[in-house]
Amino acid sequence: MNFYQTQSAFSRSELLPVIPDWTVSQLAEIAQQHLLHYGWLDAYHTERTAEKLQQINTRSIDRLLKARQEAGFELQSQTLPQQRHLGCCRDFSLFFTALMRAQGVPARSRVGFAGYFREGHWHDHVIGEYWNGDRWVRVDPQLDQLQRDAIQLGFDPLDVPDSPDVFVTAARAWQLYRAGEVDPWNYAIFPGSPIGGPGFIRGNLLHELWSLNKIELLLWEGPEEFWRDLEVLSEEELKATDQLATYLVSGEETLKGLQHWLERYPVDQITCRAPNGHEEVWEREAVTLVPGA
């Protein structure tokens, strides 16, 4: 657990405080007061501008917190939606994870698919997990009251049920696809989107592996392996992906095992192709130095 108790290159920041008498709800609300999902702008009556959309490429919590300071906001400020920094589920979960780690609690991001945004569809989604001493508790820090009401959420987002009807990890989604039990095109960024399907599931599986190794990349970036089309993979490569999925679903992952798989799917030179059209190539060692980091 010590591994997840310490910050990653993406979550660390000297601006993260130790908060006396903190609660899980309080930490989730801090993330909600500073971030706004770029796909929910209309629901919050917030203008969409090119300058604002570039915020979704803020890679590290340190850069996020510095941007918030520059905008005149303190960590526990109450904000209006239009005053918040644009991001996505990855950013809410990473911010929540960073706050939990700052309190000395093991926490991590988990990449997968959520079934609670729209019935019959599995949206790619990242949630947070923290260790309460007995189990990993799943938290969706993105879901404020407006979103809970909009999707008619039927559970507490601070304790997301460990149910295949609610959230499936990317590894489990890959297994379901390979077994022919699901339509892989129901796993996408939204219903009918061309950004979905088998290759998309595999890409999220790689992101799940990397996040469990505390390499919490933006969801639209990755090394060469992430961008490979599924059609060009050999049968041996597909079987290796199956084995990775089996390992991550087992619930018996160890740091040694995760790092073994990281050697199989390393993260070195990374290509970013963002939804707003931004593109860049960077080296992981320079995470705090590249533009937008």
Report the distance separating Cα 244 and Cα 242, nearest Å: 5
CB 187 within 8 A of CB 222: no
As given in the structure block, the two tokens for residue 216 are 């919490």
CA distances for 192 relative to 122, 186, 197, angstroms: 11, 8, 10
Report the distance separating Cα 2 and Cα 5, nearest Å: 5
**pLDDT tens readout for residues 221-233:** 999 999 999 999 9
Q: In the chain, where does DSSP find H-type helix?
A: 2-5, 24-34, 50-53, 61-70, 89-102, 145-150, 170-178, 198-212, 224-227, 235-249, 255-264
Query: What is the domain partition of the chain in residue ranges?
Result: 2-286
Q: Assess whether pLDDT exceeds 70 at residue 125.
A: yes
**pLDDT tens readout for residues 253-290:** 999 999 999 999 999 999 999 999 999 999 987 554 33
- DSSP 8-state code for residue 14: T
Longest dimension (CA), the chain: 54
Pair type for strands 167-169 and 136-139: unpaired
> 162: which strand partners?
none
Could you give the percent of the chain with pLDDT greater than 90?
A: 96
**pLDDT tens readout for residues 199-217:** 999 999 999 999 999 999 9
User: Of the candidates 90, 95, 88, 92, which has an alpha carbon nearest to the alpha carbon of residue 39?
Assistant: 88
Q: Assess whether pLDDT exceeds 70 at residue 292.
A: no
